Amino acid sequence: MSGAVVEDALAAVHVRQKGFFEGYSLLAILLVLSQAFHGLAVSAIYKYADVLIKNFASSMTMACLVFISAYLFSSQLTFHKVMGVASIIVTTYMYMNIAIKLPKPPQQPSLWKVLRNRLGSGYRAPL
């Protein structure tokens, strides 16, 4: 236990002297920023979309990253990668094309409207 405390104190001194990002390359910093923005985008999608849309968004992100990594890192585009991306694009298009045409379900009244209707017009919602 005391060894961990001493090592932690030494690490804190090293960070104060050299800085937190000492040893990070530009590529590592860009990767951290990319993951942070990806997390923010996913959380925004999770807040407003249903489960299928979330899965399609995640799949489209992976499909885009296949081409980005091929361009930036000269990774090889194989037949399997291209066919995987094509299947993601086709299934996303097919689902979205059908989902747009479906009628929206009727909206449920809020709890306060139900209570006001049952208790009379003198009932006010708490602030």
Tokens, residue 103: 């009628």
% of the chain beyond a pLDDT of 90: 17
Count of CB atoms situated within 10 Å of the CB of 2? 6
In angstroms, the CA 81 to CA 27 distance is: 24
Tokens, residue 22: 């000492």
Please give the C-alpha separations between residue 120 and each of 89, 106, 116, 123, in angstroms, as whole numbers.
Answer: 53, 24, 5, 6
pTM for the model: 0.46
Kindly state the average pLDDT of the residues 1-7: 63
As a whole number, the mean pLDDT across the chain is 80
Instruction: Tell me the per-residue pLDDT of 63-122, one tens digit each, with 9 for 90 and over.
Output: 899 999 999 888 899 999 999 999 999 988 888 888 777 777 777 767 667 766 766 666
Q: What is the pLDDT of residue 82?
A: 93
Count of CB atoms situated within 10 Å of the CB of 22? 9
Q: Are the C-beta atoms of residues 70 and 76 closer than 8 Å to each other? A: yes
pLDDT of 30 > 80? The answer is yes
